[in-house]
A and B are shown apart, each in its own frame.
Chain A
Amino acid sequence: MVNVDLSPNELKLLKCLKEGPLSPHEASLKSELGEKEAMSAASWLRSKGLVDISEESTVYLFPNEEGKKYAEQGLPERRAVEWLNQMGESLVDELPLDDNEKKVVIGWLKRKKFAELEKTDDGLKLSPTGNVDETPDENVLVLLSRKPMAESEIDKEGLALLKGRQVLATKEEVSRIFNLTEEGENFDVENIDDDLIGELTPEMLQSGEWKGKSFQRYSNDTGVEASDFATLHPLTRFTEDIRSIFLQMGFTEIEGDYVESAFWNMDVLFIPQDHPARELQDTFYLSEPASFVINDEDLLDQVKSIHEDGGNTESKGWGSNWSKETAQQALLRTHTTVGTIRYLSNNPEPPIRVFSVGRVFRREALDATHLPEFTQVEGIIVEPEANFGMLIGVLKEFYRRMGFHDVRVRPAYFPYTEPSLEVEVRFGDKWLELGGAGIFRPEVTAPFGIECPVLAWGLGLERLAMLHLGIKDIRMLYQSDIQWLKETV
């Protein structure tokens, strides 16, 4: 015999079925289970191969609204013939019937031989034949009005007559019969312990009643109601993953303010004052505060001369006039590199390994692929041995730790790094751009006395998040559906 675990209900039902097939109703009476519980137990027994549930669908007939009325009041021809027998004879128009009934009644009176018809000047005149015998359709209609019946149970002649008039409706019912399978027949119910513990109660625990008994085994594939729960936002999870990679690689975290001056955000990074990214359409400038006074005259002078003619670096500079007013404009930082250069200005001594993860702002309208603010991740290494090969090596290590094992680099351009590169990672069967990197230009590092190479790289967190979450609309991250947030993994 197969070793099958049965719940108490299943065992009860199985025992009843040993005496023969049962409908759910019969099974519930016999087993003292509710009809639903019996059905559920039968389903489980079926899944365990012990019971078959045969299903048969039966069409039941019952009177519709008009049929119900006729069942109560009598069919129109019955009411007509009773009237005729009282009145002797009558014009059709005088019959106590409604207009629709009058239209059909003549045919039925003739067919059932209840009346004879005569054309007169006043209209059609009816006279009784004396025949008032009950016809089978009347009988069937009354029976059906008491209880819907399957077609096979109904008198055929009466049904045929009723079907000719629209007085019946149908409904389909599936009836089930539980049968034991061969395996079920062979199942030895008598040797089964039917005293299994279902719900474990405090009383059982306190009394020790559970000892020596077995526990009913519960299924793990039935649906259960969802529990409410709270999760971290996916951007937090990605931020934490990336922060942890940086910390593992020996980087220290830095941060900076969103409100900045063009001087620190652009000028010290050697972004020319007429660079397109500085235009009103790309950068958010501020009216409150409108500008910052930059007091470091020495730094101002150095930056000015580096922009204009390279100053004391070997650079040619941008060759155009540099304006202090332009540099003092207040703006929302467009990259975290402003925080980096501020940090380096205060900490110019190598070795340095720092990183930041923070919001930056670009003048974009909000749509499925653009945000006016997004999260930038940035890493910096400053040390005497730093060089381009180390930058590529560190980048590949960094991306590998993020789960990207295929990484390649290609030339790129950023105004404050040289050489510059773009990082591509293989995601599925595609190569995707996922970040940029380079070595800070000497024009950037010179004013701060930084003599070692400054390796820098950065990437956008949202792009990474969208990639991993498989979403196309970036707004889902910042204008979230709370349920969606809970379901993201």
Chain B
Amino acid sequence: MPVINIEFDDLNRMLKEPLDSESFSKIISQIGADPDEINEKDAIIEFFPDRPDLLSTEGVARAIRAFTEQQLGLVNYKTNAATTHMVVSPNVLGVRPCVLGGIVRGIKLDDVAIKCLMELQEKLHVTLGRKRNKVSIGIHDLGKLEGPFNYTTCPPHEPAFVPLQKDYEMTPEEILKEHPKGIEYAHLLEEFKEYPLITDSKDEVVSMPPIINGALTTITEKTTEVLIDVTGLDQNAVEACLNIVAAALVERGGEIEQLELRYPTEKIIAPQMEPKMHKIENDYLVNLLGFDPENFAIFKAFRKCAMEPDLKDGTWHVKTPAYRADILHPIDLLEEVAIGLGYDNLPEHLPKETRFGDALKSRKLEKNCRETMLGIGFQEVVTLTLTSTKMLHENTGRESNYEAEVSNPVTEDYHMLRSSILPNLIELLKNNRHRELPQRIFEVGQVVIEHSNRTSLAWIELTSKSTFSSARSTAEIISKRLELNGTPTEDDDPLFIPGRCVQIKTENATLKYGEIHPQTLEKYELSYPAIGGEIIW
């Protein structure tokens, strides 16, 4: 989950009544966040991925103002009419087809505010932006630019421009190969012959989305007006990011001015900061909540979440802020009401009706296995289901049997689901070589055969004198206790010594036991004889 840093001095500048760290800590988790660390001067907070509007100190300040009733209800965003435009070239539509933009004037930025802005941009890239693939954002010092702007494509070798973090000109191709951000994000453009580019009317490079901005328009403490560009593959996500960034800049004293996007076939004016309308029926809300807090409490709860409700004919018509991209369904409004009321204040109750539960048959079988094994002195162990072909096949001589195999394992040790538990037990004994003999262990667990789960019981015994007859005697007790009736036949499982392996097949289970082959013992550096067995149902 995305994590952001908040400095209380900065936060409190945007609140009417400042908060100390203690009250901040209480409020922030009621709004919906995991406080990772709260200190006297700052805090590290994890927000949930459905609330990208909270990924900045500005957004948090706005939410706290509403929640603490410093400013209930919607924030009204004044947007000035467009004074310039951006021409979207048909070429770029096949590369990175979505673009929106906007201008914010009259902002005051200091060091902390710039840091917040950069952090917001980065977090949006990671979350809504899906690592810049779906959305990437540029924020530029408008003072260095002259509209109108162009969103177009460029060939790899030109134009050369000075990118952020460098002090010399590079061509787009050089940026992708040599610049750290270029190297990191080059894969997003690898299938294209031309790259997206935003320029101003004097052909200065504003940005090469989604890779890097030009160094010319870097935001500094002197910046008072900015151009925001948001490009991407999904118009909804692009719009959400633009609205979030624009609303954050308003918190820094800015005033939004729209930008006209001249697409080849249409004109779009952005950003659109008017609230969106969502509806939820009061009965639905109250029934699902589990109690009726009464209309006024619901009304206030919406307003504590910076929304503006209106109850008409039993339905709440709720204006939600333009920066909220997470309201998909009326049910999402219910959670706002619950948050506004405070989760702590919601009345709770238990179901009135009694029902009758039942355990799984497989669990009853497992319980029988455990009782049997404990009764004959075997210690229970639990091991991982993920294993390797080395453990399952190479070390045992067993053949592979279409075990489920992971295509993107983290390590070679865990790339396959086990089809047998015995190898895990042998490995566990290896790790317990420093312990005294005799060692008797068992595991009841799941194995996966033909891609389906099966229950298995495996056991192993390591003593200085393990004999085939004691293997038989143990197996006989187990099969008797678990009611496995079948005729023992000789089996040639290479995990066991030839001629010392027995198989019993019943209608729904297969039991195998015997004396473990020294070849396998050697692989696990075990220098005592071992006997064991496994039943798979």
Residues of A within 8 A of B (CB): 228-233, 235-236, 243, 246-259, 274, 276, 280-281, 284-290, 310, 313-320, 330, 332, 351, 353, 359, 361, 363-366, 371-373, 381, 383, 385-390, 392-394, 396-397, 408-413, 418-422, 433, 439, 441-443, 453, 477-483, 485-486
Contact = CB atoms under 8 A, between A and B. Distances in A.
A274 B408 CA distance: 18
A396 B413 CA distance: 40
Interface size bucket, B side? 35 or more
A422 B335 CA distance: 13
Given A288-B405, A351-B353, A389-B348, A230 B446 contact: no
Contacts of B407: 285-287, 290
Nearest to B454: A257
Nearest to B378: A230
Contacts of A478: 382-384
A330 B448 CA distance: 14
B417 interface: yes
Contacts of A252: 357-358
Interface in B357-399: 357-360, 362-363, 370, 373-374, 377-386
Contact of A233 (B127, B380, B451): B380
B31 interface: yes
13 contacts: A230-B378, A288-B403, A365-B410, A388-B334, A389-B348, A411-B29, A413-B32, A418-B331, A419-B334, A419-B335, A439-B288, A442-B329, A482-B381
**Chain A CB within 10 A, most for which of B31, B328, B358, B363:** B328
Nearest to A283: B408
Given A288-B404, A359-B446, A396-B348, A371 B384 contact: yes
B357 A247 contact: yes
A480 to B, nearest CB: 6
Interface in B396-421: 402-411, 413-414, 417
Contacts of B377: 228-230
A393 B410 CA distance: 40
B18 interface: no
Contact of A243 (B288, B349, B353, B363): B363
A479 B443 CA distance: 12
Contacts of A479: 383, 428, 431
Contact of B408 (A232, A280, A394, A482): A280
Contact of B331 (A255, A371, A442): A442
A247 B452 contact: no
Interface of B: 29-32, 34, 48-51, 127, 130, 134, 234, 236, 287-291, 328-332, 334-335, 338-339, 343-344, 346-360, 362-363, 370, 373-374, 377-386, 402-411, 413-414, 417, 428, 431-432, 435, 439-441, 446, 448, 451-453
A257 B452 contact: yes
Contacts of B428: 479-480, 482
B417 A332 contact: yes
Given A421-B343, A482-B439, A393 B348 contact: yes
Contacts of A373: 384-386
A389 B32 contact: no
B379 A372 contact: no
A381 B351 CA distance: 10
A183 B431 CA distance: 57
A418 B329 contact: yes
Nearest to B377: A230
Contacts of B338: 388, 411, 419
Contacts of B404: 258-259, 286, 288-289, 330, 332
A390 B287 CA distance: 11
B435 A482 contact: yes
A410 B29 contact: yes
Given A361-B386, A387-B290, A396-B348, A441 B374 contact: no
